Structure 1
Amino acid sequence: MIGAMWKGMSGIYQQDRGIAVESNNLANSSTVGHKKDQITFADLLYTNGGMGHGVGSQSVSKQFQQGQIVGTGVGIDVALEGKGFMVVRSRENPDEIFYTRAGNLVQAKDGFLVNQDDYKMQGLVPQSRLTSSTNPADTMFTDEFARNIVSTNISNSLGRIFNINAKTTDYASSAKNDDIAQKGDNYKSSQSKINDVDALREDYINKLKEYQLTPNVPEISSQAQKSQVDFSSKISSLTSEDNKLSITVGNKTFSVEFDHDGNINQDEMEKLYNFLDDSGREKYGLIDPSSIPTQDDIDNMPITTPEEIQAKADRQSLRDNSINAYSSAKSLVKAMQDLSDKISAYAGYSSSAKSGTLEIEGLIQGKEFKISEVELNNEKINSTNIQEAIKGSGMAMIDSAKEALKQAVEKADAKYLEITNVLDYADLNTIGMTDLNVRLDVLGLADKDVADVEISDDGFIFVKSGDNKFLVGRLSTASFRNEQGLNPAGGNLYSQTDLSGNPFNADTMNTIKGKSLERANVDYGTTLTQIMVYQKAFEANSKSITTSDEFLQTAIGLIK
């Protein structure tokens, strides 16, 4: 009878523990990422007669089944779907590493991404940063860089992501017309400079998108097309009035009408000579105007001897031929200068007549353009390509487009700054164990210390400031050979034990869900049912004690 009482007591005690376990599950039913406990019982030592000695708790273990994932719309919330845990580090003792499923994260005042108990989240940070800037001293975005150019991510199949952010100063207000002395030689107005930047920006964005679709291609730099038209071959067809040069570039036709005046003065000759380069001067047979003898000097030459007469004739011939060469070239070169300026005003193109021919260059790297309907006074003239367009591929193509854009921005008297964070996450043999900071000023990306944090569905951490999204890291996940062997440390944290084994990378075993949280995996129906079972078992054990007590009282009474 005494034994029956002790067995009943063990039953009461263990059923009470069962109720306590399930009550704890219910109490944490709204705790983010909570994993329910499960108690198991075992019968106690049996005697030789086959009678047990009651019941004991075999174990209380965590059940790591997936909890329901619910969207929150909060950019800094994150949930794990699948196996594994997020990794956190203690501030007070950096050697203390814990693991959690609770993704209701917080941005601490010092910029670190932490959990609710101020433990620093662990992960990968960009391994390298590439900067392209007009001024090498500009290494972070400030208010000076007011215009957003691009903010995007491109990645390849090697597990590497490039986060590209580019901004400029206000090129629309800084752009101004080129010096008038540059007319005819890639001359740009302020508006044409703005249009060039816009066209090259669009090309850069399109090439980034193209790379994203086909990242694993050979690295080939792009090259712009350069074409040439030689109008000088038809110079003899010029008339004194109503001459016309025309050319179609792509789908745009340009034309210039002009008169051919045979008169030229010293100032005009010097301007023409200084404008043309050596090849242009040679093409039209132009010599330095200062070396052309003046008519007064020739007239004052002596003619007393045959030698002096011949010398004077030679000097006169030199002057006449030089004047004729300049007279013939003047109007045609001037017309080509005007035609060149019209082409240069067309977005994405630049043109020069400095070589004595019309040279046209596409500013958009790798873009082919067709030249057609080239005429001088309705006489057809052929164009030639002096440099073929090469589209390019891979990151080399991207770099070529970026450099062309940067040059266009600088031509508009503005500054260009591009920062690319490169993060390699392909190594699955290690777990990222770096503190994750999301303050842009601390990271040296921008002078802003307040920005929105957002975690993508694949665990990448972005900080949004204006139109820019900066990649600052990626959450790492870990798993264990025996999850039940982990030690629950409170605060939704678990620590490693000998039973759990060492952690290993779990990035391929789960999916990180941004703007979501994992609810506790507590099932109300099952838990409440189990509590009632324990309650009835508690009552039954209480009855066995009462019955044993009555038997004991009867036995004592018989003895008396």
Structure 2
Amino acid sequence: MLRSMYAGVSGLNSHQQMMDVTGNNISNVNTVGFKSSRVTFKEMLSQTIRGASAPQENRAGTNPQQVGLGVGVGSIDSDMSSGNLQSTGKTSDVAIQGDGFFVLRDGSTEVYSRAGNFNFDEQGRLYSSSTGMLVQGWTANENGEYNNGLTRNNLGDIQLKQEINAEATDKVNFAKNLKANIINDLGIVQGSMQVSDGATTPVTDNINFSMEPVDGSHNVWEYTLKSDDPTTTFTDPTPTTTTGEYTGQIVLENDGSIDTASSDVDNLTVDINNSGNTDTLNFDDTIKLDKDGESLITNGTGESIDLSYQQTAKRDVSINVFDSQGGKHSVLLPIEKIDNNTWEIDETKLEIDGNTLTTPLGGNHEIKFNDSGEILSGETVDLTFTPAGPGVSQTVELDFSAMTQFADGGSLETNSDGMTANFSSVNGYEAGSLESFSFTETGDIVGSFSNGLTQIQGKIAMANFANPAGLSRQEGVFEATSNSGEAGIGEPAQGGFGSLAPSTLEMSNANLSQEFTNMITAQRGFQANSKLITTSDEMLQELVNLKR
């Protein structure tokens, strides 16, 4: 009779422990990275009243007769499945997608956690907000590299660098297109003027002027002078005489002056109406770049045809370079077309901080392209200057090897004139301070600095176990046990370790619907065992009442 009472007591104790575990799960339903537990029961030892007997020739065997002594807790198992992810928008939060644990340092003890609510302390060390323990991983060097590899031996605190030192520029890369068929601009292509012999009663004729570029030739234009009177003759110093019309060529330098040796610009004598009365047409060989309204051609009476010349066959590229102390210097690089497939950087026009230097390139630099539009020569040139501040000479390599020369711009990113040539990358930077940071899926911590630079600062380490359920819980973290196995250390998203989800946290994996069901089950089990005790008590009472 007393056995049933004690069985009831064991049931009360076991269901109380089930209720304790369920209550803990429910209380941690909003705990970051929490892993719930479950209780399983086992039957306690049974008392054998009669043992089993073997079958005999004339008698069957008998089974053992045993009375159970109650129930006990068989196990309290941890559910290590992943919880749902919650987006927080906080850059220092990170969650694990898949297997693995964050590695934390508690003094000299290594512990593990799934809670990724991190922050950086005053010394720039990454730590767990929940526990104050330091997050373990690997710190990168100034180039964002891990010198000694990502191994357990190199594991340590992750410390963000708060400042980044200035670095001098030593290379600028250029790319994209210089338009192959671009020409310099002449403001007019046609006009007219009156020629006269200058007499009191002058003999006159009207001369029409037109001009067009010569295909396939750089800075070469063909002009035509045509008189209204078809009998008017033109005589050049050759001498060559034509009637009614004269055709010649003008070859300009890039600065807009006439190349007189290559041009038909000597004085032309005009015999007006073939009357013997003449006027002289003079070409101006002092036309200069970017001057509007320059006189191209004049006659003896001072009438002129004007020209507005613009050097449009050029590309001015502006870049900023940095000295060793982080000082920024603006460089204006003029790239001018001087011949078919040939472009030039005139060092006398190159400006640094608005000033021209004596010999920044060691002479004018030519860039030549082949017939296919690919660079043929002049891929690189050194720009040398002495910046104020450091006061020492600095050399920057200018690399044009990726530039092209096509008529249509050579890329989808064309502007109105088809010229897209520009710098593609510039190394070097000014000093900067850390403004923000972010995590990547592979565990890298990327710092963003005030100078616009981003740099990998470190990587979070992860741990995994052969039996994660065998870990021991210690104040919100896990510790390895003899049954969990030793921690395997690795980097996120590699070798079976889960990847990271930046700006999110892993929620508790406690299932409220399951926990409430377990709570009801525990309550009913507790009630049933309570009834067992009261019923046993009533039976004992009946025995006592047999003797009245």
TM-score by length of 1: 0.50
Shift of residue 468, structure 1, vs aligned partner: 2.9
Q: Deviations over 1:109-145 (max 9, x none)?
A: 21111002111111122256389xxxxxxx9646xx7
CA distance in structure 1 between the aligned counterparts of 2:144 and 2:334, rounded to whole angstroms: 27
Which amino acid letter does the alignment assign opposite residue 70 of structure 1? Answer: Q
Name which of 501, 515, 533 aligns with 2:521: 533
Residue 105 of structure 2 corresponds to residue 100 of structure 1: no
CA distance in structure 2 between the aligned counterparts of 1:85 and 1:458, rounded to whole angstroms: 14
Please say if residues 44 and 52 of structure 1, whose CA atoms lie closer than 8 Å, have aligned partners that are also in contact.
Answer: yes
CA distance in structure 2 between the aligned counterparts of 1:55 and 1:389, rounded to whole angstroms: 86
Instruction: Mark the CA change 1:385 to 1:109 in structure 2 (over 3 Å): closer, same or farther.
Output: closer
CA distance in structure 2 between the aligned counterparts of 1:103 and 1:260, rounded to whole angstroms: 78
Alignment of 1:99-248 (within 5 A): 99-116=112-129, 117-127=131-141, 129=143, 141=164, 203=175, 245=251
Instruction: Mark the CA change 1:541 to 1:345 in structure 2 (over 3 Å): closer, same or farther.
Output: closer
Q: Deviations over 1:317-375 (max 9, x none)?
A: xxxxxxxxxxxxxx9xx99xxx9999695757343599xxx96434xxxxx74689xxx
Which amino acid letter does the alignment assign opposite residue 111 of structure 2? Answer: F
Please say if residues 79 and 518 of structure 1, whose CA atoms lie closer than 8 Å, have aligned partners that are also in contact.
Answer: yes
Structure number with greater CO (CA < 8 Å, separation at least 6) is: 1
Instruction: Mark the CA change 1:447 to 1:465 in structure 2 (over 3 Å): closer, same or farther.
Output: closer
Residue 506 of structure 2 corresponds to residue 518 of structure 1: yes
Q: Deviations over 1:421-477 (max 9, x none)?
A: xxxxxxxxxxxxxxxxxxxxxxxx9663x6222112332212223333221111121
Which amino acid letter does the alignment assign opposite residue 53 of structure 1? Answer: L
Give the number of aligned pairs. 322
Which amino acid letter does the alignment assign opposite residue 78 of structure 1? Answer: V
DSSP 3-state at the match of 1:40: strand
Which amino acid letter does the alignment assign opposite residue 34 of structure 1? Answer: F
CA distance in structure 2 between the aligned counterparts of 1:140 and 1:472, rounded to whole angstroms: 11
Greater share of strand: 2
Corresponding residue for 1:462?
446
Q: Deviations over 1:376-411 (max 9, x none)?
A: xxxxxxxx9973759xxxxxxxxxxx94379xxxxx
Greater gyration radius: 2
Corresponding residue for 2:480?
496
Corresponding residue for 2:470?
485
DSSP 3-state at the match of 2:68: coil
Give structure 1 regions of 4+ aligned residues with deviation exceeding 4 angstroms.
Answer: 139-142, 200-204, 242-247, 339-348
Corresponding residue for 1:441?
none
DSSP 3-state at the match of 1:535: helix
Corresponding residue for 2:366?
361
Instruction: Mark the CA change 1:258 to 1:538 in structure 2 (over 3 Å): closer, same or farther.
Output: same
Shift of residue 256, structure 1, vs aligned partner: 3.7
Corresponding residue for 2:377?
387
Instruction: Mark the CA change 1:550 to 1:345 in structure 2 (over 3 Å): closer, same or farther.
Output: closer
Corresponding residue for 2:345?
351
Please say if residues 486 and 494 of structure 1, whose CA atoms lie closer than 8 Å, have aligned partners that are also in contact.
Answer: yes
Corresponding residue for 1:22?
22
Corresponding residue for 2:99?
83
RMSD: 4.4
Which amino acid letter does the alignment assign opposite residue 457 of structure 1? Answer: E
Greater share of helix: 1
Q: Percent identity?
A: 25
Residue 542 of structure 2 corresponds to residue 554 of structure 1: yes
Which amino acid letter does the alignment assign opposite residue 81 of structure 1? Answer: Q
Corresponding residue for 2:230?
none
Please say if residues 341 and 351 of structure 1, whose CA atoms lie closer than 8 Å, have aligned partners that are also in contact.
Answer: no
Corresponding residue for 1:40?
40
Instruction: Mark the CA change 1:465 to 1:109 in structure 2 (over 3 Å): closer, same or farther.
Output: same
CA distance in structure 1 between the aligned counterparts of 2:96 and 2:122, rounded to whole angstroms: 26
Name which of 79, 83, 97 aligns with 1:67: 83
Shift of residue 526, structure 1, vs aligned partner: 0.6
Shift of residue 244, structure 1, vs aligned partner: 5.7
CA distance in structure 1 between the aligned counterparts of 2:375 and 2:76, rounded to whole angstroms: 81
Gaps of 5+ in 1: 132-138, 146-165, 169-196, 205-228, 232-238, 248-253, 262-330, 363-367, 373-383, 391-401, 407-415, 420-444
Shift of residue 39, structure 1, vs aligned partner: 1.2
CA distance in structure 1 between the aligned counterparts of 2:104 and 2:168, rounded to whole angstroms: 35
Instruction: Mark the CA change 1:459 to 1:130 in structure 2 (over 3 Å): closer, same or farther.
Output: closer
Which amino acid letter does the alignment assign opposite residue 50 of structure 1? Answer: Q
